[in-house]
Chain A
Amino acid sequence: MGTVVTAISDEECVQQAIAGDDQAFRILYRRYADKVRGLLYQMTSDKEALDDLTQEVFVKAFRGLSKFRAESQFSTWLFRIAVNCCQDARRRRARRPPSLPLDGLRLATSQEDALSRLSREELITCALETLKEEHRLVVVLHDLQDRPQEEIAGVLSVPVGTVKSRLFYARRQLREWFYARGIEL
């Protein structure tokens, strides 16, 4: 990912990619690969399937570029595809046991620092697993991916008020989950 991504706009890249320019595809991929992978990973917690899922998202997006109407930002459109792929993947995975079962958590005892035995990332992964999918999505997009609420509303095709409400309930549940494990936030 060390390649310089030029200052060309997303819309120009899209037009060039539609015309068959390989380099334009590469620029779009390099510009968004990390963000998309972050979202996919935080939504699915599945390391093994991550590359395949990333491929699924970008191939769907690139093949459907001609349908991108520029009514929204390219990033919003791409994130919407990523969210749909996450939902498909979670449905496919529903038949399998979770990759990180909560029963397997090495929870801290009262004598120990709660965060000393578990890595923070692992802890957050476990906490996210407890949320309903629609709540997890807004937390991941807003708090982990740092997307503005208006964009999240566009990605999920819901009003901004719904995003705020889901965020409120998701955070409350997360606080309770952390509190039950000796972590006050």
Chain B
Amino acid sequence: MSDPLSEFLRRNAPRPPAAGDDLEDRILRATLAPARAQSWWSERSPLLVAASLALVLLGTLGWQQQRLDSTLSPVELTALGLSEPTPFLAVDPETDLYDIRF
């Protein structure tokens, strides 16, 4: 024989309100979207890495070339007044103090 309390609880269990119309689709979107994004990324990541490396390499080479082309002779530097040694700041790794060098 069933317990009257259990029977009462079972028969009158609070029923949840109906789910929103779009809940199922919301759940599916939330579940699948990141997985597909990850899948897209993992399929293309070797290609993207290769392209990125090529861009960095080309950029570095171009920058080096530009630097070589634009190097001025000491005479020209003197004429422009840039032959003065330029001070700059550095940090002593042992003391963490700034060090001005010339």
A residues touching B (Cβ–Cβ < 8 Å)? 20, 22, 25-26, 29-30, 33-34, 37-38, 40-42, 45, 47, 50-51, 54-55, 58-59, 62-63, 120-125, 139, 142-146, 171, 174-175, 178, 185
Contact = CB atoms under 8 A, between A and B. Distances in A.
30 contacts: A25-B28, A25-B31, A26-B24, A26-B28, A29-B27, A29-B28, A30-B24, A33-B19, A33-B24, A37-B16, A40-B16, A41-B17, A42-B13, A47-B17, A50-B16, A50-B17, A54-B19, A59-B27, A62-B27, A62-B31, A63-B34, A121-B14, A122-B14, A124-B9, A139-B9, A143-B9, A171-B6, A174-B9, A185-B5, A185-B8
A20 B14 contact: no
B30 to A, nearest CB: 5
Interface in B1-58: 3-6, 8-17, 19-20, 23-24, 26-28, 30-32, 34-35
A171 B27 CA distance: 36
A58 B31 contact: yes
A43 to B, nearest CB: 10
> Which 3 residue pairs across A and B have the least CB separation, nearest first?
A41-B16, A120-B12, A62-B31
Given A26-B24, A175-B5, A38 B12 contact: no
A20 B8 CA distance: 43
A113 B27 CA distance: 44
Interface of B: 3-6, 8-17, 19-20, 23-24, 26-28, 30-32, 34-35
Contacts of B8: 120, 185
A178 B34 CA distance: 48
A143 B7 CA distance: 8
A121 B13 contact: yes
Contact of A51 (B5, B19, B31): B19
Given A50-B19, A120-B8, A174-B5, 10 more contacts: A22-B32, A26-B28, A37-B16, A38-B15, A51-B23, A55-B26, A55-B30, A62-B27, A174-B9, A185-B4
Contacts of A59: 27, 30-31
**Which of B9, B10, B28, B30 has most chain A Cβ within 10 Å?**
B9
A146 B35 contact: no
B14 A125 contact: yes
A124 B10 contact: no
A58 B8 CA distance: 30
